Structure 1
Amino acid sequence: MTPRIDLFGIITDDLAASAAFYRRLGLDIPEGAEKEPHVEILLPGGQRLAWDTVDTIRTFLPDWTPSQGGHRLGLAFLCDGPAEVDALWTELTQAGYTGEKAPWDAFWGQRYAIVKDPDGNPVDLFAPLPQVESPS
């Protein structure tokens, strides 16, 4: 059998805060799940996304410490269009989440923005930019 990606995991200091953030991005995290030490949901396409508290991780890795000096993993959410990127950015930053990069039109043809989840993980918001017809 060939291994295949099945689960993406997030280690969080505050499961309730992380769940609230990702619910704002449309993930269906059951109410009350944030009271558990481990939560996972099934994503469209069959992969799973999971959250574990730091305390849960330390039950099997007692010396675990978070990475320092930058991130190694990010999540990206495809939006319905450039206006939704802007609206989500505004909603999240006005709700108190840290904006790393305000929405901009990226040279690779997408409206793009980066906001940090409660644990400092970058979360990208993006949508394709409308195609501009060149004059003939």
Structure 2
Amino acid sequence: MKAQINLITIWTDNIDRMKEFYNEVLGFKIINDLGNYVEFENVGVRFAICMRDVMYAYTKEYKQKTLGQAFEMAFPCESIEDVDTTYENLIKKGALPIYGPKNMPWNQRTALFADPDGNIHEIFVSL
């Protein structure tokens, strides 16, 4: 095995709501929609969402609900203004506000929002 990520899949119980969010709110283009599995166009690592019940045949562990934040994706912005504007636009389109844009001690302007399943993601720019 190579120590390299090829695909990131978000497991969900509501694929329609998640597909709409990642497509219409975040702007990911759908390249493969099988109904219970949706893959989006992305440079580098492949990105998909999938119904949790697809994996039930393999192990009962997928029936367990996750507790708390399991992962975060971070999306780069072009400028400080881009972070602020993007955050406002994401919230207007339906992203859940978590933490508004702030300059952080690690030299980034950062804001946090959540998808419909509660997964928290970040937008940022280096200062």
TM-score, normalised with respect to structure 2: 0.84
Q: Which has the higher strand share?
A: 2
Structure 1 SS opposite 2:65: coil
Q: Which residue does 1:101 correspond to in 2?
A: 99
Aligned pairs for 1:1-136 (under 5 A) are 2-23=2-23, 24-30=25-31, 33=33, 36-45=35-44, 47-62=45-60, 64-68=63-67, 70-129=68-127
- Per-residue CA deviations over 1:60-118 (Å, capped at 9, x if unaligned) read 334522212x1121111111212121122112222332111111111111110010011
Q: Which amino acid aligns with 2:35?
A: E
Measure how far apart 1:20 and its partner are.
Answer: 2.2
Structure 2 SS opposite 1:9: strand
Q: Which amino acid aligns with 1:106?
A: M
Aligned-residue CA RMSD in angstroms? 2.0
Distance (whole Å) between structure 2 residues aligned to residue 7 and residue 25 of structure 1: 18
In structure 2, the CA distance between the partners of 1:82 and 1:16, relative to structure 1 (3 Å rule), is: farther
Structure 1 SS opposite 2:10: strand
CA contact (8 A) 2:28 2:41 kept: no
Q: Which has the larger radius of gyration?
A: 1
Structure 1 SS opposite 2:43: coil
Q: Which amino acid aligns with 1:40?
A: E
In structure 2, the CA distance between the partners of 1:59 and 1:86, relative to structure 1 (3 Å rule), is: farther
TM-score, normalised with respect to structure 1: 0.79
Distance (whole Å) between structure 1 residues aligned to residue 86 and residue 13 of structure 2: 23
Q: Which amino acid aligns with 2:51?
A: T
Q: Which amino acid aligns with 2:125?
A: A
